[in-house]
Amino acid sequence: MEKSVADGFLRFLCGESESIVRVVDELASRDEMLATIIQAAMESGGGKLAYVCLPMAFVSRVGDYAFRVNKIGVLVYDERDVVEIVEAGLVGKTSDEEKSTISEKPSIDVGRVERLENMLAEVLRRVEDLERRVEEMARQPIQPTQSIPQPTAPEARAESRAKKPKKPDNLPSFIEDNPWVELLSGKK
């Protein structure tokens, strides 16, 4: 891997692959920042991996959508760290490695498939067990578990109505037909 540093950018060579990181200074104006981003876009279109390295304070001013669409990587830095927030990519050109990766079929994790098959077999076994239990319960006669109160005969209801106490005639109208008064007057 070969590294070179020039005015405001770093260049990395690894075989035929070239990556360029353009650094935007914390004191840079908006025009300088835009010029740096445009240079990175031109380099990205030229088949290079292009990154723009911005100060943390600039991130809120610049969205990541345009960088993602144009496959320009974004690095953010502060006094302690440098973090990649958008990965760079090759625009328009794909290497033989990328073509082979695209054409490959996804590999199947045999162990995971076996675990899933075992889980499915267990679920099916449980469902069959539940179905068998339901069929057994359906064949058994139903036995009541609680005593159901028997309805009272109409004669008994008529007798209980006849036992209602007489109301005095001098009650106010809001008390005369009030069921609560009847209920409470019956309790002694």
- Where helices occur in 2-153 by DSSP H, the ranges are 30-45, 65-69, 96-103, 110-139
| Residue 61: strand, helix, or coil | coil
Structure-token pair, residue 181: 């008064």
AA letter at 118:
N
Q: Please enumerate in sequence order all residues whose Cβ is within 8 A of that of 84, keeping only pairs 6 or more positions apart, or say none.
A: 51, 73, 74, 75
110-124 confidence digits (pLDDT tens): 778 888 888 888 999
**Whether pLDDT at 62 is above 60:** yes
Q: What is the DSSP letter of 145?
A: S
pLDDT digits (tens, 9 = 90+) for 156-181: 655 655 555 565 667 777 777 788 87
Q: Are 67 and 73 in contact (CB under 8 A)?
A: yes
Q: Which CATH class is domain 2-95?
A: alpha beta
Q: Model's pTM, two decimal places?
A: 0.44
- Of 32, 11, 34, the closest CA to residue 21 belongs to 11
What average pLDDT does the segment 139-153 reach? 71
- Strand-pairing partners, residue 19, are 12, 49
Closest CA to 58 of 27, 92, 90: 27
- List the end-to-end C-alpha distance of the chain, in Å, as a whole number: 103
pLDDT of res. 53: 86
Q: Residue 120 corresponds to which tokens in the numbers above? A: 């499915």
- Nearest CA among 75, 46, 36 for reference residue 59: 75
